[in-house]
Amino acid sequence: MSAKRVTFGSKLGVILATVGCAVGLGNIWRFPYMVGSNGGAAFLLVYILCILFLGLPVMMSELFIGKTTHRNTAGSFKELAPGTKWKYIGYNGVLAAFLILGFYSVVSGWTLEYVFQALTGSLKGKSVADFTNDFAAFSSGVWRPIFWTALFVIATHVIIICGVDKGIERASKVMMPVLFIILIALCIRSLTLPNALVGLDFLLRPQLDKINSSVILSAMGQAFFSLSIGMGCLITYASYFGKDVNIQQTAVEVAALDTLVAILAGVMIFPAAFSFGIEPTSGASLVFITLPNVFEQMPFGSLWSFVFFVLLALAALTSVISLHEVVTAYVLEEYQTSRKKAALFVSVGIFLLGIICSLSVGAVKGLSFFGMPLFDLFDYVTAKIMLPLGGMFICIFVGTHIQKRILKEAMTNNGTVRFYFFNTYVFFVKYIASVAIGLIFINELGWVDYICALL
């Protein structure tokens, strides 16, 4: 099977597609409001530590699994550990991708609404109250959000059926450079506003007393979500890597670029928000209420809003493609069907889930479980439970099930590239990453407090 499988056509294609998978709403929508509501720079510090010590080992392990097996997420575990229960890590990944797509495609749809509003000039002349009320009315409405979600799913569908090299790789090669250019232009605009330094200070000067267990779990969840790890997305993409792709280098480059984009998103948002006297703690609505409000107060406001929401839509699209591919590759290979049929099945599924998630935001009150609308529940369950658990088990799997010799051969392309920190990597995968993820997770579930209370 591996001989016939398509691969990405070039090294640049590998990097841009993988960065496209990692960089998304997580960097530009989720990261800033996480920083805003978790104490600013203190969160950023913990976040970077999570990327370095937990994210990178998990990422390399996923790339190893995908590149070695050339199979989809579930299939790769079946191949490396036939007849065992390890395949459930793969199923966890496919399910997580599907659930993330439920709310992610809805938020992606919102970005299109705002592109449209900026284009038609409807964001002009609104007060803060107007922005807040209009966002609430729009997101809790029935038809408009569903319409934009449908459009987003159709765009993704078209790219997916064009295939790995002609669809995913080609789209990433166009969209990622555009995304970087827009992001840098917006950072420069934000940094040249009066009072910009206050916002930078909030983002970059940590107050260590703000770090607590909830900040740590949120930072870990965000790191996993942002790097797209713990659920086999990178396993799927790495299954399309050619023989000469260097796993360590790819992991370091993707993690570095992803973190850079998140920090740049902070540099774009916080100085602008502080400059206009807006508190950064407004949560998930930060980029949909606060930012258009900030942009519209600047000269050529609608132009900046337009550029910003195009940026958000592009980032979202490259990630939605990668999530879609996780499920499509699974259906295509495990049920031996054509790419077109698999993609159609997945697209219809995402759209239906998207409708339910969208309606749960307000239009239909009953769509909540455990006190959370399905939209928030899927976000919580995937980022805070399924991804960290997936990451932990991937580390345990690679640490206990894969022979060190095989791991080293794969990491060094059969001895042709060096891996100076190989033993450190193995140590982190075996002992640090899995244990740390487990502890942070248990702590957040409240078990540590519970045990302490019993003692």
- Answer whether 62's CB lies under 8 Å from 392's CB: no
Nearer of residues 190 and 318 to ligand PFF, judged by Cβ: 318
- Answer whether 373's CB lies under 8 Å from 367's CB: yes
Regarding 218 and contact with ligand PFF (CB under 6 A), the answer is no
In degrees, rounded to 5, the angle at the alpha carbon of residue 273 between the alpha carbons of residues 271 and 279 is 120
Q: How far is the CB of 300 from ligand PFF (least distance, A)?
A: 28
Which pairing describes strands 372-373 and 368-369: parallel, antiparallel, or unpaired? antiparallel
Q: How far is the CB of 320 from ligand PFF (least distance, A)?
A: 8
Instruction: Give the whole-angstrom CA distance, residue 436 versus residue 167.
Output: 38
Regarding 156 and contact with ligand PFF (CB under 6 A), the answer is no
- Answer whether 68's CB lies under 8 Å from 80's CB: yes
Q: Report CA-CA distances (Å) from 411 to 2, 21, 187.
A: 18, 21, 36
Regarding 228 and contact with ligand PFF (CB under 6 A), the answer is yes
Regarding 47 and contact with ligand PFF (CB under 6 A), the answer is no
The β-bridge partners of 372 are 369
- Binding marks (x or -) toward ligand PFF, 75..114, rule CB under 6 A? ----------------------x--x--------------
User: 13, 20, 24, 109: which one contacts ligand PFF (CB under 6 A)?
Assistant: 24
Q: Which amino acid is at 261?
A: V
Interface segment toward ligand PFF; rule CB under 6 A; list 17-25, 122-130, 241-249, 266-274: 17-25
Instruction: Give the whole-angstrom CA distance, residue 295 versus residue 118.
Output: 10
User: 231, 251, 291, 411: which one contacts ligand PFF (CB under 6 A)?
Assistant: 231
Regarding 159 and contact with ligand PFF (CB under 6 A), the answer is no
- Helical spans, DSSP H, in 70-169: 73-80, 87-119, 128-139, 143-161
Regarding 26 and contact with ligand PFF (CB under 6 A), the answer is yes
Mention every residue, 6+ apart, whose C-beta is less than 8 A from residue 7. Answer: 164, 165, 240, 241, 242
Number of residues this chain uses to bind ligand PFF (CB under 6 A): 16
Q: Which amino acid is at 384?
A: K
Nearer of residues 25 and 160 to ligand PFF, judged by Cβ: 25
Nearer of residues 358 and 382 to ligand PFF, judged by Cβ: 382
Instruction: Give the whole-angstrom CA distance, residue 434 versus residue 230.
Output: 12
Map the footprint of ligand PFF across residues 319-378, applying CB under 6 A.
Answer: 319, 322-323
Map the footprint of ligand PFF across residues 295-314, applying CB under 6 A.
Answer: none
Nearer of residues 224 and 274 to ligand PFF, judged by Cβ: 224
Query: Residue 221 is encoded by which pair of tokens?
Result: 């969840």
Nearer of residues 321 and 398 to ligand PFF, judged by Cβ: 321
Residues within the interface to ligand PFF (CB under 6 A): 21-22, 24-27, 97, 100, 225-226, 228, 231, 233, 319, 322-323
